[in-house]
Structure 1
Amino acid sequence: MTAAFVENSHAPGARAWDYLLQTWRELDVPEGWRAEIDEGQIVLVPPPHAHHNDIAETVQRCLYQGIPKGLGVYQTLGIHVAPLGKLYVPDLVVMPKELVVAADPETSDPLDAADALLVVEITSRGNAREDRTKKYRAYARAGVPMYLLIDRFDTRGAMSTLFTEPNEDGTFKHTDAVPFGKPLTLPAPFDVSLPTGEFPGAVAP
């Protein structure tokens, strides 16, 4: 579930973004919640279910098996989708460590989504639609090379889908989807097999 928090529909273009970003910086967000900017408003995302967190931990542990030196796997890191004026806080994002270290220590400004190598979103019951549609299009428009969507609420059953080769029109050229329980390969620079059989709710083959 997401809840609208602040909006500014009267200021045009860049001014509206500056207003929202400044408000986002100053928010006192409850522990465990996340604040994002989407459709010209700030929304609050509540803490996820324990199963959601367990999946994130499994994916992060897997990524560290193959991640090259100089890259980091981050939780609660805000990223700015500049072409669309959006700010998301993915469940996991892989980003060059030098960019994270170079961030201004006096502000909590988001990093550019275009610099991410991989973005991971794990659906919750209330936000699955946004992860499948809005965020899919946003990450493609930003040029994120890989978008991993782990969808426990897919109508086909729980699925893990890797989208690669982003287009400027907001789509990805390639899709690799597997049900929970079957491995999903993440290509270079990771070259690891995601053990979806370890995810809560997976059925043993």
Structure 2
Amino acid sequence: MTAAMVAKDQGSEGRRWEYLLRTWQELDVPEGWRAEIDEGQIVLVPPPHAHHNGIAAKVRRTLYASLPEELEIYQTLGVHVAPLDKLYVPDLVVMPAELIASADPDTSEPLDASEALLIVEITSKGNAREDRTKKYRAYARGGVPMYLLIDRFDTRGAMATLFTEPNEDGTYKHSESVPFGKPLPLPAPFDVALLTGDFPG
């Protein structure tokens, strides 16, 4: 992961966020890379390993099996964590399709993270800590109802964890973890088991 500091003295916090967002919108990011806003910086995230993409494909296929028509699964969708003025581009976001359809076609405004039903992050060697800590706290503070963390680099071995019921203090009330090889049940509106034994790597 590479961080580029683009704003040190941009005045008030509100003006700093506007400056960062405008810069993010105007960035010409290399294909496959993602740009996020975290801790007052624009962070460039390199393309993930093939196994990372393989896991994302398996999760997407599982979710689509029972997904209500009004919901869709998005990749490379920027979400704004409003309480913290952070902007992340999760591996997968499940969100009402009408929100995407009604977005202004002339801007690249990120959608509010609280509108997502589920956010999925799949760790890479370079970002595992951020997914486990910073993004966990941010998604909880942002009111994301379900955060699925697929951690290939957990010290206990590869694990999948579903966090639910976010608190404003930046924690989730409930979590359920399974090692790769065991199914992880996903509640409504999905009502499906994620078969982690099918994950590559």
Question: How does the TM-score come out when normalised to structure 2?
Answer: 0.98
In the TM superposition, what whole-angstrom CA distance separates every residue of 1:86-119 from its partner, at most 9, and x where no partner exists?
0000000000100011111111110000100000
Aligned to 1:21: 21
How many angstroms apart in 2 are the aligned matches of 1:141 and 1:33?
A: 26
2:191 is the counterpart of 1:169: no
Q: Over the residues paired in the alignment, what is the CA RMSD in angstroms?
A: 0.6
Separation of aligned partners in 2, 1:27 and 1:62: 33
Q: d(CA) in 2 for partners of 1:192 and 1:45?
A: 31
Whole-angstrom distance in 2 between the partners of 1:24 and 1:81: 15
Instruction: Give the C-alpha shift of residue 6 in structure 1.
Output: 3.5
> In the alignment, which residue of structure 2 is the partner of 1:198?
198
Alignment of 1:107-186 (within 5 A): 107-186=107-186
Alpha-carbon distance in structure 1 between the residues aligned to 2:71 and 2:51 = 26
Note if 1:4 corresponds to 2:6.
Answer: no
Q: Does 1:31 align with 2:31?
A: yes
> What letter is aligned with 1:89?
V
Please state how far the C-alpha of 1:175 moved relative to its aligned partner. 0.7
After TM superposition, the runs of 4+ consecutive aligned structure 1 residues lying more than 4 A away are none
The code of the aligned residue for 1:21 comes to L
Pairwise CA distance, 1:42: 0.2
The one-letter code of the counterpart of 1:181 is G
For residue 200 of structure 1, report the CA deviation from its aligned partner. 1.3
Work out the CA distance in 2 between the residues paired with 1:7 and 1:127: 21
Residues 110-165 of structure 1, C-alpha deviation per residue, up to 9 Å, x if partnerless?
A: 00001000000000000000000000000000111100000000000000000001
Report the identity percentage.
75
What secondary structure, in the 3-state scheme, does the structure 2 residue paired with 1:66 have? Answer: coil
What's the TM-score once normalised by structure 1's chain length?
Answer: 0.96
TM-superposed CA distance for 1:10, in Å, is 0.9
Number of aligned residue pairs = 200
Unaligned runs of 5+ in 1: none
CA distance in 1, matches of 2:3, 2:143: 27
Gaps of 5+ in 2: none
- CA distance in structure 2 between the partners assigned to 1:6 and 1:69 by the alignment: 41
